Amino acid sequence: MTAQHSPTDHPALAPAASAADIAAAVRAREVTAGDVVEAHLDRIARRNPGLGALTVVFAEQAREAASLLDSALAAGEDPGPLAGVPISVKENIDLTWSPTTNGWRGLAEAVPARDATIVRRMRAAGAVPVGRGNMPDFGMRWDTDNDLFGRTRNPWDPQRSAGGSSGGDAVSVATGMSAIGLGNDFGGSLRLPAYAAGVVGLRPSRGRVPRAAVTGYPVALTLQEFSVNGPMARTVDDVALALSVMQGADADDPVSLEAPPPHGLPRRVGVVRGSQVDPQVAGGIERAAASLSAAGWEVVDIEAPRLEEAAVLWRRLSCTDMLMSLDPAELGMPLGRSATAFLRDSTAVAQPYETAREYAEAWGRRAVIAADWRRLQAEVPVLLGPVSTSRMREPDYDLGGQDAADRAWRDLWLTVAANYLGLPALALPTGLGDDGTPTGVQLIGPMFAEEALFALGRAVEAGVPALPQP
């Protein structure tokens, strides 16, 4: 079908439309990429001023990109699997349309010379950037606020944090301002905002998705080992679609690689319940477990091996590197007010390593813990548990002194363990809690088992109540 004038009520133009449906409608010429972009720009104009999710809106660039895509379609060219899909790009992922600020005033004019590899791949597949997602300074907090752009607010309840550090992209996706968000995850930075906003977020296996190009500037070891780029979307299928475009080896990132083909795994899921889990969080875990059981998966209770040790080592190593890499004397300008407070409080209570021997021994322990997890996941390949053991707390909940910083980290023990071990993890919603905000879980698989996580995620998605539009 060729539409001379696209209907304004086409399902692909609705706020909850999936990326796959948008691309299918554009490719079939039922709607134009221009129509899709205009619908999203309209939502941005209405929703973003009250939410602070997008720091920059690419109205003219997006319209031009959509026009080129529509012309290519009219000429019979293949626009790609993401034809016309609006995406947001986090402030620390290079996109030449605006500075890559990392949420910090010191980089407010840092326009990159070229797009990041994942941005190039998404654009080559037909995706259209419509804005930049907000984040805290250098992605350092579990809330999204900075002195350069201000705060991102939770669309479900402004008295709750939007999570961090990819909070802007999560809120943009949840409210229909973009269909896919590009973010990254060093310690839950994709999964926690996804939980807060009620969307799906994937932390891929270490190396599966390229990261920033490695140049001559020193890169902290924890950033190399713990952080990955990944997508957020409103459905598991859309996250899988985004991964299929983003993944693969990249000459600029020596950690990146071609993932091996999917392999068969036992249809067994281990539930990690933990202690001191909020009843609403526990309810979400139960709904997910019941959905998987109904879909034919064997669901068993397990204890994640050396979980506390993994979380402690992640924190101490991370804080050691943050003190070195984010020294204001080295940066040439102070961090923002909230980032300064977070760094002070977190490092004070985390006990950063003071000697090279301590630091090296902490990395050495990772092989011991990883071996225990690998033995477990040979029998019980996927772990089901909370993203956070608490409901989303108030804005700035991770500030306010050492006790607050410690509590914020303890909420995320299972989450940061996946970062420490480099494992793939999929966060997804499990309906609304009694307070009217999303509940959610995460699924953690063995290395390169993203396809298994997607299969499990689809089963959870089909078995829990769908979320309304926030």
Average pLDDT for residues 328-343, to the nearest whole number? 92
The single residue listed with the structure tokens 């943050």 is: 322
Categorize the per-residue pLDDT at 9 as very low, low, confident or very high, splitting at 50, 70 and 90.
confident
The pTM of the whole model exceeds 0.95: yes
Q: What confidence score (pLDDT) does residue 219 get?
A: 81
Contact 103, 92 (CB under 8 A): yes
Q: In what order do the strands lie in the sheet with 298-301?
A: 54-57, 128-133, 86-90, 180-185, 228-233, 200-203, 425-432, 438-444, 382-385, 268-271, 298-301
Q: What confidence score (pLDDT) does residue 2 get?
A: 43
- Among 99, 85, 240, 154, smallest CA distance to 436 is for 154
- The CA distance from 452 to 58, in Å, is 36
Selection from 1-5, 271-275, 376-380 with the highest mean pLDDT = 376-380
Average pLDDT for residues 323-337, to the nearest whole number? 90
Average pLDDT for residues 231-236, to the nearest whole number? 98
- The CA distance from 424 to 407, in Å, is 24
For 63, the enclosing helix (H) or strand (E) is helix 59-74
Higher pLDDT, 215 or 235: 235
Categorize the per-residue pLDDT at 236 as very low, low, confident or very high, splitting at 50, 70 and 90.
very high
The single residue listed with the structure tokens 């002194």 is: 401
Categorize the per-residue pLDDT at 1 as very low, low, confident or very high, splitting at 50, 70 and 90.
very low
Q: What confidence score (pLDDT) does residue 290 get?
A: 98
Categorize the per-residue pLDDT at 7 as very low, low, confident or very high, splitting at 50, 70 and 90.
low
Contact 386, 167 (CB under 8 A): no
Label the pairing between strands 54-57 and 128-133: antiparallel
Choose, from 18, 98, 165, 166, the residue flagged as catalytic: 165
Contact 238, 181 (CB under 8 A): no
pLDDT tens for 65-118 read: 999 999 999 999 999 999 999 999 999 999 999 999 999 999 999 999 999 999
Q: Give whole-number Cα distances, 269 to 263, 326, 382, 422, 450, in Å.
A: 16, 39, 5, 19, 14
At residue 434, does pLDDT exceed 80? yes
- The CA distance from 281 to 442, in Å, is 11
**6 in active site:** no
At residue 6, does pLDDT exceed 60? no
Average pLDDT for residues 336-362, to the nearest whole number? 94
Contact 431, 441 (CB under 8 A): no
Give me 415's structure tokens: 């989450």
CA 203 to chain centre: 6
For the chain, domains (ranges, CATH) are: 11-463 (3.90.1300.10)
How buried is 191 (Cβ within 10 angstroms: 0-12 exposed, 13-18 middle, 19+ buried)?
buried
> How long a stretch of residues is the chain?
470
Q: What confidence score (pLDDT) does residue 63 get?
A: 98
Share of the chain above pLDDT 70, in %: 98
Local structure of 52: helix, strand or coil: coil
Give me 16's structure tokens: 């909850």
Give me 363's structure tokens: 């990395």
Contact 97, 58 (CB under 8 A): yes
Local structure of 3: helix, strand or coil: coil
- The CA distance from 93 to 28, in Å, is 31
Contact 33, 72 (CB under 8 A): no
At residue 5, does pLDDT exceed 80? no
Count of alpha carbons within 13 Å of 287, Cβ hemisphere only? 26
**67 in active site:** no
Q: Provide the mean pLDDT of the chain.
A: 96
- Among 157, 148, 48, smallest CA distance to 91 is for 148
Choose, from 88, 98, 172, 189, the residue flagged as catalytic: 189
**291 in active site:** no
Choose, from 6, 18, 88, 90, the residue flagged as catalytic: 90
Beta-bridge mates of residue 90: 133
How buried is 424 (Cβ within 10 angstroms: 0-12 exposed, 13-18 middle, 19+ buried)?
buried
Three-state SS string over 350-419 comes to: HCCCCCHHHHHHHHHHHHHHHHHHHHHHHHCCEEEECCCCCCCCCCCCCCCCHHHHHHHHHCCHHHHHHH
Local structure of 99: helix, strand or coil: coil
